[in-house]
Structure 1
Amino acid sequence: MFLVTGATGGLGSRIVRRLRQQEKDVRGFVRLTSRYSELESRGVNIFIGDLERDKDIYKACQGVKYVISSHGSGGKPQAVEYRANIDLIDAAKEAGVEHFVFTSVLGVDRGYEDSPVFKAKREVEKYLQNSGLNYTILRPSAFASSLLPLAERFKQTGIYLLIGDPQNRTSVVSTDDVARIAIDSVFVESAKNKVLSVGGPEIITRGDIPQIFSRIFNRDPIVINPPLFLFDGLRSTIGVLNSDVERSLGTLRTLLANEFFCTPEEITNLEMMFDMKMESLESFLRRYLGA
């Protein structure tokens, strides 16, 4: 039995579907308010709970062999990104779980103090490494699925909003590839007790993304490129009214201001370890957009 948290999310739903395609037993941890009927129809064992309740977490881990933590912060990095994962690790250890896969983020070890999410994920990494559990920590770059709404908007308007330096590099990764690696990590011996950077096969600039959209939809892009200091000004103004929102925007600023890409050597290592070929961003988008 696999327990997957964030089972209705962009990554979690793909993990769950792939596991069911492989006829694996899956327990999906979901909220009562989430849309989980599609997963239920695939034969997923639905566990309705709250990641802010340790009792729910401990109950969900009963009878589980593998745990894949793929939930996001939900706007609560301290409670959901940090505390819930700590409780999940403790519950997994108590339940005798054989392998724990944690989805972190590329660059989490760089000390970005402005990002509550990066800080929380880094502390969870360290806790997991010292827990005594067998683990795999995945540090993916930006998920390709996060660009699908932007692509649909571009299709309608031709407009692409790019805040900050368009020359910042990234290696956007197929969310389906991350799902496959998350699952296979529990079976591939060389992935045991490893921290793996996970990115797409190409290093591109953020300015390349609207050009990819342009090729897919055969229309010229209208790129709106406000400088980062305008974002900072807006964030400071918001902070006067709501300091919590200002702090939460620190993660977005971290993502906008820095480069997140994997080296060719890291990608080659992944492809060899998991016997796969990483999918390019353009291939992913064309597959999902039917273009």
Structure 2
Amino acid sequence: MFLVTGATGSLGRRIVRQLREQETPVRAFVRLFSRYEELEHRGAEIFIGDLRQDRDIEKACQGVEYIISAHGSNGDPQALDYRANIALIDQAKANNVKHFVFISVLGVDRGYEDAPVFKAKREVEKYLVASGLNYTILRPSGFANNLLPLAERFRETGIYLLIGDPKNRSSIISTDDLAKIAIASVSVEGAKNQILPVGGPDVLKREDIPRIFSRLFNKEPIVINVPLFLFDGLRSAIGLFNPQTQRSLGTLRTLLANEFFCTPQEIAHLESIYNIKLESLESFLRRYLGG
């Protein structure tokens, strides 16, 4: 039995689907108001709970052998990225869970003080490594599915909004590939007790993304490049009225201001460990959007 948190999110949903395609028992941790009908239809065991409640985490972990922590912060990194994962790790130890897979983020070890999600995930990584559990920590550089709504908007308008340096590089991972890797991590020997950067096979500049959209839809891109200082000004103005939102935007600011990519050597190592050929961003978008 797998327990998957964040089971209705873009990654968690794919993990549950793939587990059920393998006819593997899976318990999907979901919120009451989330859309979980598809997962139930696929045969997942639905656990309705709140990751902010220790009692719900305790109940969800009973009788499971593997845990994949795939939930996001939902605007509350202290409660969800940090405390909920600490509680999951503690319950994994109490229930003799065989393997714990934690979805972290690339660059989490760079010390970004202005990014609460990065700080929370780094502390969870350290706690998990010291826990004595068998673990795999995956540090993805960005989810390909996050570009789907941007691509749809581009298809309608031809406009692409690019905030910050167009030359900044990334290696965005196919969310389907990341789900496969997360599942395989509990059984692949080379993934045991490892921290692994995870990215797609291509290192892309941010300005390459509208060019990919252009090829997909045969439409000349209109790129609006907004300087980062304008984002900073907006964030400061928001802070006058809502300091909490200003702080939470620090993670987005970190993502916009820096590069997040895997080296070719890291990608080759990842493909070797999991015996997988990673999908390019363009291939992922074509599968979902046609073109």
The verdict on a shared fold, with TM-score over 0.5 as the criterion, is yes
The 3-state SS of whatever aligns with 1:201 is: coil
* C-alpha displacement of 1:172: 0.7
Deviation of 1:190 after TM superposition, in Å, equals 1.1
- Does residue 217 in structure 1 map to residue 253 in structure 2? no
Structure 1: distance between partners of 2:223 and 2:29 = 39
Look up the SS of the partner of 1:24 in the other structure.
Answer: coil
In the other structure, the counterpart of 1:203 is: 203
Q: Which residue of 2 aligns with 1:234?
A: 234
Partner of residue 105, structure 2 = 105
Asked if 1 retains the 8 angstrom alpha-carbon contact of 2:216 and 2:290, the reply is: no
Aligned to 2:259: 259
| Residue pair 2:171, 2:204 contacting (<8 A) in 1 also | yes
Q: SS state of the match for residue 105, structure 2?
A: coil
Look up the equivalent residue of 2:137 and give its one-letter code. I
Matched residue count = 291
Runs of 5+ in structure 1 lacking a partner? none
Q: Does 1:25 align with 2:30?
A: no
Deviations 1:99-140 (A, max 9, x none): 000000000000000000000000000000000100000000
Matches within 5 A, 1:264-279: 264-279=264-279
* Residue 286 (structure 1) aligns with: 286
Aligned to 1:184: 184
Question: Is 2:140 the partner of 1:117?
Answer: no
Q: 2:144 — aligned with what?
A: 144
Match of 1:41 in 2: 41
The Cα RMSD (Å) is: 0.4
Equivalent residue for 2:246? 246
Please give the alpha-carbon distance, in whole angstroms, between the structure 2 residues aligned to 1:128 and 1:96: 14
Partner AA of 2:195 in structure 1: V
TM-score by length of 1: 1.00
- Cα distance in 2 between the residues matched to 1:204 and 1:226: 19
Aligned partner of 1:12 in structure 2 is 12
Matched, 1:63 2:63: yes
Instruction: Determine the C-alpha separation between the residues in 2 that align with 1:186 and 1:162.
Output: 38
Quick check: 1:93 aligned with 2:93?
Answer: yes
* C-alpha distance in structure 2 between counterparts of 1:169 and 1:157, whole Å: 25
Show the 5 A alignment for 1:77-88: 77-88=77-88
C-alpha deviation, 1:290, in angstroms? 2.0
Does 2:171 match 1:171?
A: yes
CA distance in 2 between counterparts of 1:53 and 1:283 reads 40
Name the SS for the 1:4 alignment partner.
strand
**What secondary structure is seen at the aligned counterpart in 2 of 1:28?**
strand
**d(CA) in 2 for partners of 1:23 and 1:39?**
13
SS at match of 1:155: helix
* Secondary structure at the counterpart of residue 163 of structure 2: coil
**Residues 1:75 and 2:47 are matched in the alignment:** no
For 1:208 and 1:18, the matched residues in 2 are separated by 30
CA–CA distance in structure 2, aligned partners of residues 290 and 52 of structure 1 = 39
Q: Distance in 2 between matches of 1:44 and 1:93?
A: 24
* Cα distance in 1, alignment partners of residues 18 and 134 from structure 2: 22
Opposite residue 208 of structure 2, the aligned amino acid is D
SS in 1 for 2:136: strand
